[in-house]
Amino acid sequence: MTEAARGGEILRAAAGGTPPEWALVSGSGLAGLTGAFETRRVLDYADVPGLPGATVFGHPGRLHLATAGGVPIWLCQGRPHFYEHGDMQPIASFVRVLLDAGVSRLLLTNAAGALNPAFRAGDVMVLRDHLFLPGLAGHHPLLGPNDARGERFPAMAGAYDVTLRAALARELGRAGLRVREGVYAMVGGPSYETSAETLLLRRAGADAVGMSTAPEVVVARHAGARVGAVATITNVAGIDETLDGGHAAVVDTASAVAPRLGSALAAVIGRFDPA
């Protein structure tokens, strides 16, 4: 039995009769969005096989069994990153634990830098598509023997579910947030982008940039799960380092958005109609 399968069994047992079909992953500074949900139980990642421990400030590494409008959900406070491990497999394992626990609908959040000049800190962007730059360079979560959950060569066109995108945009707007839609570029990190790199990504068609999300989407879609994602715009990418507050400023900006973001995501889950 794989580590992911063992972790999935533990989560199924912890959930009791009806395991959640939903999971939500909070990005940097967004752990506070859990306040919009009714928490029934909390587990540490360290106690669940296949869930890598969180090492980054703003990622507490806790898993909440919660509900939104009576709908059960796993709330993941934090995620593993490629730059922490130098390997995509911990990220693949993280997602597969949730899949083995019965999750078929995955919502992802992150903190991102703006590439689109119209975007401002505090905006939220519903992901329409992504540029998975580490994956294109050979650092891919599906490398190695094919996982039996999906096809060897999974299609990624339309990876972000249209119905979920519409629901996210609607509820984020109702929560009083300024909503954008666009393309997210994932870079490996952990350094932020230079001005030249920012210009390159903008010219490639990206609206925001960050260091996560794309590999989780690939693993979930490979297994047939429905996926939606929201980036919280926390800064303008590629600005002068001397004027940039760094990761602490990113976390502070995301934390301010987290309560309204959480309310919107809880509404999406509680009201979602897949038809």
Render pLDDT for 99-114 as a digit per residue (tens, 0 to 9).
999 999 999 999 999 9
Domains of the chain: 3-271 (3.40.50.1580)
241 is catalytic: no
Q: Please provide the distance, in angstroms rounded to a whole number, between the alpha carbons at the two ends of the chain.
A: 35
pLDDT of residue 243: 47
Render pLDDT for 164-201 as a digit per residue (tens, 0 to 9).
999 999 999 999 999 999 999 999 999 999 999 999 99
Token pair for 269 = 């889950």
pLDDT of residue 60: 85
Render pLDDT for 32-44 as a digit per residue (tens, 0 to 9).
899 999 999 999 9
Distances (CA, A) of 27 to 24, 51, 59, 271: 10, 16, 7, 23
Contact 222, 149 (CB under 8 A): yes
pLDDT of residue 236: 86
216 is catalytic: no
Among residues 36, 64, 81, 193, the one annotated as catalytic is 81
111 is catalytic: yes
Among residues 68, 185, 211, 266, the one annotated as catalytic is 211
Contact 202, 116 (CB under 8 A): yes
pLDDT of residue 23: 98
Token pair for 210 = 């960050």
Cis omega (within 30 of 0) for bond into 190 = yes
Distance CA 248, CA 250 (A): 5
Cβ atoms within 10 Å, residue 76: 30
pLDDT of residue 216: 98
Strand partners, 125: 180, 231
Nearest to 214 by CA among 201, 199, 226, 229: 229
Distance CA 151, CA 225 (A): 13
222 is catalytic: no
92 is catalytic: no
Distances (CA, A) of 96 to 67, 86, 102, 250: 21, 19, 10, 28
DSSP-derived letter for residue 82 is H
The segments of the chain whose pLDDT lies below 50 read 242-243
Token pair for 77 = 């406070």
pTM of the predicted structure, to 2 decimals: 0.94
